Amino acid sequence: MPSLRDPVTAFCDSWILEARPAKNEVSSARPYAHTIEKERSADGALVDVATLFLTNKECPFRCLMCDLWKNTTDETVDPGAIPAQIRWALDRLPPARHIKLYNSGNFFDPAAIPEDDYSAIADLVAPFETVVVESHPKMVGRRCLEFGALLRGDLHVAMGLETVHPAVLARLNKRMTLDDFAAAVQTLTKNGMQARAFILLRPPFLDEEEGVEWCRRSLDFAFDVGVECCAIIPTRSGNGVMEILEREGHFAPPSLASLEAVFDYGLGLGKGRVFVDLWDIEKLALAEEAGTPRVQRLARMNLSQQIEPLEQSALSCSGRPPWRP
């Protein structure tokens, strides 16, 4: 294991790759998942969102905590494969007004989404009012602006802020600074696009109290630089490296109480939408008293964007929590 003394160079691509388990089997002919989820839109309406998880080449950034590479290919997919995946999924989903094209990395990485496919993709998503994609902040540039110009609807770009803790951010191998993130948000907003931020609750090297505090600070930073929507992700293991850090005492998943606290804080700011990522939340729920009704409360708050008293958490919740806000 690398030395934990150096906050910048302790974790490199080769060590992160070496610790990985095998990838899942995927086909470039199909998105690896597709679904319809409910989401409260920026204008306050509860809308249906077609969410597609596209199959493409793995992200070139090897972030310490990332497990999205599990459903990626090792090579760039053939030209036309991504439009074919979108067409295949839309043929099987009911109508919706909004769409998310998640691709386990960077939509504007030409090795993942070939630029020659932009026009065909734009044609396929022309009926949608908003199109959400994801990207590393350093890849928000020419390709982003060119793709946005092709769309009839509004482009929203979701980016991993992760944490504003300077030492922890450096150790995540994300290869960006807070200035990089702020610059990407500025590029988007000045060109009529919206920015979303993924924020980690209790990344490695923070204890429970620090995890809550720095998640709150990260929410403050995101909204202050112009992000419209934040998604809080409870940091999880499952990618090889995180299990090593957990065994060595450098990581533990956050508690459900901490997730409730930062969600309440984010919604209480009143500066923009805040969601919690409930994918795999059952692990936290099983470990805590009354976990299931508390998760149901979080799911309802995702939809209402209103803080609900905790004592009402035994009420029923319809629908499966969204995978990734």
Provide φ and ψ at 107, rounded to 5°: -60, -30
Provide φ and ψ at 160, rounded to 5°: -80, 105
Are 121 and 83 a contacting pair, CB within 8 Å? yes
Residue 265 burial (CB < 10 Å; 0-12/13-18/19+)?
Answer: middle
Are 60 and 28 a contacting pair, CB within 8 Å? no
The pLDDT of residue 287 is 64
The pLDDT of residue 277 is 96
The pLDDT of residue 285 is 66
No. of H helices and E strands in the chain? 11, 8
The pLDDT of residue 3 is 43
The pLDDT of residue 289 is 66
Region for residue 270 given its phi and psi (left: phi exceeds 0; alpha: psi -120 to 50; beta: otherwise): left
Instruction: Report which DSSP code applies to 60.
Output: S
Return per-residue pLDDT of the chain as tens, 325 residues.
Answer: 444 444 444 578 999 999 999 999 999 999 999 999 999 999 999 999 999 999 999 999 999 999 999 999 999 999 999 999 999 999 999 999 999 999 999 999 999 999 999 999 999 999 999 999 999 999 999 999 999 999 999 999 999 999 999 999 999 999 999 999 999 999 999 999 999 999 999 999 999 999 999 999 999 999 999 999 999 999 999 999 999 999 999 999 999 999 999 999 999 999 999 999 998 887 776 666 667 889 999 999 999 999 999 865 444 333 333 445 5
What's the token pair of residue 153? 């609807």
| Distant-in-sequence, close-in-space partners of 87: CB < 8 Å, separation ≥ 6 | 124
Using the structure block, give the residue that is written with the tokens 């597709």: 34
Are 64 and 244 a contacting pair, CB within 8 Å? no
Region for residue 66 given its phi and psi (left: phi exceeds 0; alpha: psi -120 to 50; beta: otherwise): beta
Q: Domain spans of the chain?
A: 13-312
Are 49 and 39 a contacting pair, CB within 8 Å? yes
**Alpha-carbon gap, residue 115 to 316, rounded angstroms:** 45
Are 68 and 158 a contacting pair, CB within 8 Å? no
The pLDDT of residue 279 is 87
**101 strand-pairing partners:** 52, 133
Instruction: Report which DSSP code applies to 281.
Output: T
**Alpha-carbon gap, residue 180 to 8, rounded angstroms:** 17
Q: How many CB atoms lie within 10 A of CB 303?
A: 18
Using the structure block, give the residue that is written with the tokens 């299990």: 243
Instruction: Report which DSSP code applies to 75.
Output: S
Instruction: Report which DSSP code applies to 70.
Output: G
**Alpha-carbon gap, residue 229 to 302, rounded angstroms:** 12
Q: How far is CA 57 from CA 72, 112, 187, 240, 304, in A?
A: 5, 5, 26, 20, 36
* Nearest CA among 85, 80, 156 for reference residue 116: 80
Are 202 and 215 a contacting pair, CB within 8 Å? yes
Using the structure block, give the residue that is written with the tokens 């906050």: 7
- The model's pLDDT over 116-135, given as tens digits with 9 standing for 90+, comes to 999 999 999 999 999 999 99
pTM, entire model: 0.92
13-312: what CATH class?
Answer: alpha beta
The pLDDT of residue 262 is 98
Provide φ and ψ at 238, rounded to 5°: 125, 5
**Alpha-carbon gap, residue 297 to 321, rounded angstroms:** 11
